[in-house]
Amino acid sequence: MTTIRMHAGVAGALYLVTFATSIPALALKTPFLEGATEDPAALRWAVVLEIVLAIACVGTAVALLPILRHRHEALAVGFVASRTVEAGLILTGVLALLALTSISTASASPTLVAIHDQAFLLGPGVLPAVNALLLAPVLLRARLVPRIIPIVGLIGAPLLLASAGATMFGAVDQVSAIAGAAALPIALWEGSLGVWLLVKGVRNEPQGGAIPTSQQASVLDR
């Protein structure tokens, strides 16, 4: 296995980890946050899953950095930065959840619930769109993956941003059918990218599959 293939496979696996953690975490914590249950056990499991989610978020960008940086270093580094901010917001929400587990009821601290909700809105609600706008153009123009995958990401980014904006102004509930539908293209983009990277890797590998040590001219500038 070449170095580039290994990095692509790790990134793909970590993308799938984000799905395997974020969806169950949302299902576990939502009843507690909405006051449907006062059992903190599920909330503790959600905390564990979201910590893994935050680590996987950063890991996807770090794994892809050696592949992307010689094609467009600014966007590659920007992608790492965006993913790191996303992870930080996820962990901010985790801190609020941890505090809630100690008081056993969400209704006892609406401030903590609000902190979690805003962190969730800005992190998983906004940053995936920024990630797509940074990563998809590099993948598309360098033809590292099938064109349809980054195109879906570029379509989904403005939809997710519009949904987040509507949520901020109170027009749409944060967890609702409309918000879920708006997030579907981004979910499809990240899921399909993860599967492709894990199974196929990237196209246009340098001869021998080694990561270049010198910075070459960006494909985007050709």
Quick one: pLDDT at residue 216?
42
Quick one: pLDDT at residue 60?
98
Which residues, 6+ apart, have CB-to-CB distance to 202 below 8 Å? 4, 5, 8, 67, 144, 145
Q: What is the pTM of this model?
A: 0.86
pLDDT digits (tens, 9 = 90+) for 182-215: 999 999 999 999 999 999 999 876 544 444 444 4
Quick one: pLDDT at residue 1?
61
Quick one: pLDDT at residue 208?
44
Where b means 16+ CB within 10 Å and e means fewer, 68-83 reads: bbbbbeebbebbbebb
Kindly report the backbone phi and psi dihedral angles of residue 117, in degrees, each rounded to the nearest multiple of 5, phi listed first: -65, -40
Mean pLDDT of successive 10-residue segments in the chain (222 residues)? 89 97 93 78 92 98 95 96 98 93 72 91 94 97 96 97 91 83 95 97 64 42 42
Assign 106 to helix, strand or coil.
Answer: helix
- Quick one: which of 153, 124, 105, 126 has its CA closest to 26? 124
